[in-house]
């Protein structure tokens, strides 16, 4: 059986994601879609709207065949490390191709951009340093450095979020000598960061989440932008756990951690650079909400995303020694769920998988897995009352979800 891979977060799964899965299968000619999905905390340093189990179920009911978890060690990371872990999982799972969404929609432009930057690497790195020294964030510095080189031809706009990730997927695939062929599908109607609904059926996950929280979790307002399986899944999750996850629920825990940590201990946390610890500690004492806290610590040099990721690592007490500062590969395939077709694929390819397949985590001690467990426990704390125990226990008791 032939499989194509997708790298996703599904926060939540919406009609644009359904279009991507449909196109991925059509373009690649694959019989099976394998999704690598971030766990309970996401690349932008946010708690997922609903748990990884519910998001995996939504994906399976809307067209995915297999969902593997992207370990915390890669999921809550900068783009190159995020991409490296995800690509290594798809390669290990036997995918013949990888299909990603982008603002560009042209695979040729990605290849040309990578060739251009490899040819001009020394000049590019020098311009990046110039902009970093001027106080710009790393993503802004890299985008400005690229424009400084005055590239010509059909190249990718590396200021766009999905283009950035797609470019890193291509770089990771080449670095890992992957046999996968890469395809891209152009995003339709809504941009990644769009906060308002832009059409009658397609909306960004950002705008969907904003609508949910502005309506106090009322789900009807987003119904036209998500598959029915997502709509029903959100209703069920809200009924079972009382609502959806967002940063404000974790603010009391983050503030408690900050006001009790000594500056030297805070410096040990991953993504905390020297000097930031004092800014965090001062803001924590003054702020009354997570939003206020973020507004106080935000600077030109550090993106909102980078600071949120640091906050996640403080919550989970993840130290610099526990996280890679360069691209590495995953250590296992943690199976969250599969369809009937996905089960057929795994049965026929089980002996060919290049990493251990994990369906229950209790009997495994991989370091990457221990970070996942810790993150899941913290994530469950965002649920009020006894419900948090139910969510916490799922990490050990939940078998892979089966959808026919």
Per the annotation, where are the binding residues for ATP?
Answer: 7-20, 101, 162, 187
d(CA 189, CA 101): 13
- 299, with CB counted inside 10 A (0-12, 13-18, 19+), is exposed
Distances (CA, A) of 271 to 82, 164, 287, 357: 14, 20, 21, 30
**Is 338 within 8 Å of 67 (Cβ atoms)?**
yes
**Is 250 within 8 Å of 290 (Cβ atoms)?**
yes
Kindly give the interhelix angle for 276-286 and 247-260, rounded to the nearest 10 degrees: 110
d(CA 376, CA 28): 34
Residue 235 parent element (H or E)? helix 228-241
Tokens of 3: 């499989």
Give the residue numbers of the binding site: 7-20, 101, 162, 187
List the alpha helices (DSSP H) in 41-160.
Answer: 52-61, 72-75, 79-92, 107-119, 121-133, 138-148
d(CA 258, CA 184): 42
d(CA 180, CA 251): 41
268-293 exposure pattern, b = at least 16 Cβ within 10 A, e = fewer: ebbbbeeebbeebeebbeebeebeeb
Cis peptide before 12 (omega within 30 of 0): yes
Q: What is the DSSP secondary structure assignment for residue 158, as one 8-state letter?
A: T
């Amino acid at each position: 059986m032939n499989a194509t891979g997708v790298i996703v977060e599904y926060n939540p799964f919406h009609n644009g994601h359904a279009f991507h899965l449909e196109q991925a299968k059509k373009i690649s000619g694959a019989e099976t879609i394998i999704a690598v999905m971030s766990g309970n905390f996401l690349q932008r340093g946010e708690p997922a709207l609903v748990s990884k189990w519910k998001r995996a179920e939504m994906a399976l009911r809307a067209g995915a065949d297999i969902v593997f978890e992207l370990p915390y060690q890669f999921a809550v990371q900068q783009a190159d490390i995020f991409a490296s872990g995800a690509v290594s999982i798809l390669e290990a799972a036997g995918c013949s191709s990888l299909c990603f969404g982008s603002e560009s929609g042209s695979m040729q432009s990605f290849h040309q951009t990578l060739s251009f930057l490899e040819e001009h690497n020394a000049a590019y790195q020098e311009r990046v340093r110039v902009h970093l020294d001027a106080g710009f964030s790393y993503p802004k510095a890299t985008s400005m450095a690229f424009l400084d080189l005055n590239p010509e031809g059909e190249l990718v706009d590396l200021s766009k979020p999905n283009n950035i990730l797609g470019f890193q997927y291509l770089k990771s695939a080449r670095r890992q000598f992957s046999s996968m062929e890469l395809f891209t599908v152009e995003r339709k109607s809504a941009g990644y960061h769009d906060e308002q609904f832009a059409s009658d059926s397609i909306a960004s996950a950002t705008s969907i989440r904003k609508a949910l929280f502005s309506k106090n979790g009322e789900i009807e307002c987003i119904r036209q932008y998500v598959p029915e399986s997502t709509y029903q899944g959100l209703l069920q999750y809200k009924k079972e756990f009382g609502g959806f996850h967002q940063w404000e629920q974790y603010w009391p825990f983050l503030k408690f951690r900050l006001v009790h940590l000594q500056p030297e201990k805070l410096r040990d946390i991953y993504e905390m650079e020297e000097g930031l610890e004092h800014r965090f500690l001062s803001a924590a004492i003054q702020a009354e909400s997570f939003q206020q806290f973020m507004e106080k610590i935000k600077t030109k040099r550090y993106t909102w995303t980078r600071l949120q990721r640091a906050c996640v690592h403080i919550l989970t007490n993840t130290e610099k020694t526990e996280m890679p500062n360069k691209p590495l590969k995953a250590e296992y395939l943690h199976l969250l769920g599969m369809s009937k077709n996905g089960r057929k694929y795994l049965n026929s390819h089980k002996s060919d998988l290049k990493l251990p397949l994990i369906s229950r985590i209790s009997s495994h001690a991989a370091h990457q897995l221990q970070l996942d467990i810790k993150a899941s426990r913290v994530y469950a704390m965002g649920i009020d009352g006894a419900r948090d125990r139910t969510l916490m226990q799922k990490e050990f008791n939940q078998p892979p979800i089966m959808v026919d």
